[in-house]
Amino acid sequence: MLNPVVSAGAYTDHDKFIFESWGYFIIPDVLSKDEVQQCLEASERVHKAAGTPAFGQVGRGYETEPALEGLMDHAAVLPKIRGIYGDKFIVQSGWNTRQPARGVMGGWHQDGSGAYNFNQLSHPIPLLQLRASYLLTDQTKPGMGNMELVPGSHRSAVPLPASIREQKGDTPIGHVICATAGSVLVFHNAVWHRTYEHNEDYDRYTMHYIYSPPWVKPSDRMENNSEFMARTTPMRRALMGDYTRPDAPFGGGYAALPFHSPDKEG
């Protein structure tokens, strides 16, 4: 199977071509085995604290779990987000997803908002939620709770047929992402996707960071946690959307993120 694999770090012209063509790419082996283990243990704690019944997504784990917090501005991934968005964006949300052992297929969807869906805005659907999904369990073959995406579908003028969606059916152009634990999938909100079935005996965890333009409302929090904001780094505070109000909200004076380098590296 073709695989849109890119290297960690700077967003190259080739990465851009891949992202524009397919709507997603994969960065293999971003996390070491130890880092994956720490993130897995952190994921188990946040779901235990939240009392997730079966399949479930818990936001704000980064506030209490340093291993998850560290993924928010990971050096392998943040330059890609910067390359795609430029120097001004926020973390709209950070969702930690658990798919239980022997979990079933999820429903096909595009990301957006039930309150005012992105497909009401324009076609092609604009990029408003750029997702970096840190796979925390092995997904090297289908049936391991993989993500399945339809390449290029962010540009499709027609939806995936309702008959397929209702039956949670297959499409021959579905691409089941196979990658090691610690790899990262980055994708456009408009790419049609679903959670693939999970035939293993352990729960599957994925940490999703969603990056948005600065004027998009955060979706995992009503306000930032003051203790987290006080102790985290300037970059993470800025990614939480913490800024001094300029002359007009999001007009002139909105500061760029505090990147270390003026170029697109970091």
Question: Would you tell me which residues interact with ligand AKG (CB under 6 A)?
Answer: 97, 99, 106, 111, 193, 195, 206
| Smallest gap from residue 25 Cβ to ligand AKG (A) | 17
Q: What ranges make up the beta strands (E) of 16-163?
A: 24-27, 56-59, 90-99, 130-135, 147-149
CA distance 154 to 189: 8
In the complex, the smallest distance separating the C-beta of residue 197 from ligand AKG, rounded to whole angstroms, is 11
3-state SS, residue 9:
coil
Smallest gap from Cβ 110 to ligand AKG, in A, equals 9
Helix (H, G, I), strand (E, B) or coil at 205: strand
Calpha distance 18→20 (Å, rounded): 6
106 or 214: CB nearest ligand AKG: 106
**Closest separation in Å from C-beta 227 to ligand AKG:** 27
Peptide bond preceding 151 in cis form (omega within 30 of 0): no
Q: To which residue do tokens 């006080």 refer? A: 230
> Minimum Å distance from CB 56 to ligand AKG?
10
* Closer residue to ligand AKG in complex, CB, 55/228: 55
C-alpha distances in angstroms, 10 versus 17, 101, 234, 264?
14, 36, 21, 6
User: In this complex, which beta carbon is closest to ligand AKG, that of residue 97 or of residue 232?
Assistant: 97
Contact 93, 218 (CB under 8 A): yes
CA distance 45 to 61: 9
Residue 92 or 232: the one with the smaller Cβ distance to ligand AKG is 92
Which is closer to ligand AKG, CB of 112 or CB of 254? 112
Q: How far is the CB of 154 from ligand AKG (least distance, A)?
A: 14
Nearer to ligand AKG by Cβ, of 186 and 238: the residue is 186
